[in-house]
Amino acid sequence: MATSQAEQSPDTSLLKVLGNWDALALGFGAMIGFGWVVLTGGWIASAGTMGAVLAMVTGGAIMAVVGLTYAELTAAMPKAGGEHNFLLRGMGPRWSFIGSWAITGGYITIVAFEAVALPRTAQYLFPDLSQIPLWEVAGYQVHLTWALVGAVAAVVITGINILGVKLAGAAQTFVVVFLLVIGLVLVFGSITGGAASNMEPFFTGGLNGYFAVLVVVPFLFVGFDVIPQSAEEVNIPARQIGRLVVVAVLLATVWYVMTVVTTSSAMPAGDIAQADIATADAMGALFGSDIMAKILIAGGIAGILTSWNSLLLGASRLMYSMARSGMLPAWFGKLHPKYRTPANALLFVGVLSFIAPFFGVSMLGWLVDSGAPSIVIAYILVSVVFVILRRREPNMDRPLRVGGRGNGGIAIGIAAVVLCVGLLSLYLPGMPAALTPPPWILFGLWWLLGLVLFFRIPAGIAPGEDSEHRLLERLKQRRQEATRSS
């Protein structure tokens, strides 16, 4: 019987070194990236204060329902790769590839987004950052010094992750604590210096404004599923791993609502609409200090680093798991001989994030829009496989069982499918938040590459508990046949 790479020898397995707080910091930090700093003003302008809050609460509720399906499946299958393992057991290797490829694409777009967002944020602190012009992209001039800020950070963060998940987890914890302190300061400033009158109008833009905010939800909330990706490296009970998924989603919802309310309380809506980075300007207005605005920008940079670190970890673990199952070239499944991290997968994602800043500010919007549909596709498939496994394997060991043993759990799974399909439809042509051509091009290129890899996967392997072992046997047999024929 063939065994997976992780089962062959202790020297080729991932290290179980993360605790409760480490896992929660990874999930929460992944969701709280740069969007809360740079996008909040647009949310308020599009939907009004309460319209934006309503969209965030709706989005948080959708993600919480999806998170419940992840919680049960993660507790039942605490292996690196999350979605990859769920879909492999419930729907077989080809569906597993589609879901894994979808969420990996979403992760990589956000990692690249953060690499562009970092110099964008740094320029708020250092207005003369842009020196040595290179070229224009979509009307924006790209400067060498500006791009190098993101590129150098890509090298550092990738290096930290290669050196070990414990170091990456410790760095994540430190930065998340700093981020929470910034949030508390913002709340204090809103209570002492904000005004309810500034929050008017509460609703603007009607349904179009509401949907304009709702469609960014997959991009904002992606990251809770980093906890399943790192499940093999978490040294806590499986049931607790599942619970942390839902806790992370609830905390992120509270964070985004807090950001909208505190920002809108600081300045009239007209001033927010004209602000360069509304949340930072709001912080400065609440305390009457430019220094406080810069401190909030430091919080934004902390958010960039937490999201970047978490999703780089998540993307690399997914690619490692896919390579371990033969869905990607074996090169992606090799662990560092000393640190036992998926170094090659980390390098691949790191190189993409190194390149992204050289495409300039235009990439921010394109990356947000191109990654979101892939993320929702993955959530739909996980919700579907949750229902399939509930029906086909009712006695499967489930340390955490959501909705009880009856039809309550299946109802949660069906609700997650319906909600995510509705969310996906918002990106289609003719809808209020239809995507523009550049994001569709990036989306198409990712899936074109995926199509090439898709046909490398052996068909005819029935889903089930040992489907990974049977997939590895089939791949081994195929390699032996190729050797004999040559």
pLDDT at residue 6 greater than cutoff 70: no
Closest-CA residue to 92 (of 478, 464, 477, 473): 464
Q: Output the pLDDT for position 417.
A: 92
* Mean pLDDT value across residues 308-317: 80
What pLDDT does 4 receive? Answer: 38
pLDDT classification of 121: cutoffs 50, 70, 90: confident
Identify the band that residue 239 occupies on the pLDDT scale cut at 50, 70 and 90: low
pLDDT class for 414, splitting at 50, 70, 90? Answer: very high
Does CATH number 1.20.1740.10 belong to domain 20-485? yes
- Separation between Cα atoms, residue 125 and residue 417, nearest integer Å: 43
The predicted pLDDT at position 165 comes to 57
The predicted structure's pLDDT at residue 8: 40
Question: Does the structure show a pLDDT above 80 at 52?
Answer: yes
Position 34 scores a pLDDT of 67
Interval 61-101: pLDDT, tens: 888 888 888 888 887 877 766 777 888 888 888 888 898 89
The per-residue pLDDT for 470 is 59
Average pLDDT over residues 278-286: 85
In angstroms, rounded to a whole number, what is the distance separating the alpha carbons of residues 96 and 85? 7
How does the average pLDDT of the chain come out, rounded?
78
Residues contacting 484, CB < 8 A, separation 6+: none
Tell me what pLDDT residue 381 has.
Answer: 93
Q: What is the pLDDT, as a whole number, of residue 148?
A: 92
Tell me the pTM: 0.76
Task: Inform me whether the pLDDT recorded for 476 exceeds 60.
Answer: no
CA distance 428 to 421: 11
Whether 352 shows a pLDDT value over 70: the answer reads yes
Of 17 and 144, more confident: 144
* pLDDT tens, residue by residue, 247-264: 888 888 998 899 899 988
| The pLDDT of residue 113 is above 90 | no
Is the pLDDT assigned to residue 1 strictly greater than 50? no
Band of the pLDDT at 230, cuts 50, 70, 90?
A: low
Reported confidence tier of residue 53, pLDDT bands at 50, 70, 90: very high
Confidence of residue 130 (pLDDT cuts 50, 70, 90): confident
The reported pLDDT for the residue numbered 2 is: 36
Q: What is the pLDDT of residue 3?
A: 38
**Residue 477: is its pLDDT beyond 70?**
no
Q: For the segment 371-410, what is each residue's pLDDT rounded down to a tens digit?
A: 778 888 989 999 999 999 888 888 887 777 776 666 777 8
Confidence at residue 54, expressed as pLDDT on a 0 to 100 scale? 92
Instruction: Say yes or no to pLDDT of 103 above 80.
Output: yes
Check residue 183 and give its pLDDT.
83
| pLDDT confidence of residue 485 | 59
Q: What is the pLDDT of residues 446-458, one digit of tens each?
A: 899 888 888 777 6
Q: Is the pLDDT of residue 17 over 60?
A: no
Q: Which residue has the higher pLDDT, 356 or 460?
A: 356
For residue 465, is pLDDT > 60? no
150-209 pLDDT, tens digit each: 899 999 888 888 876 555 566 667 777 787 888 888 888 888 888 888 888 888 888 888
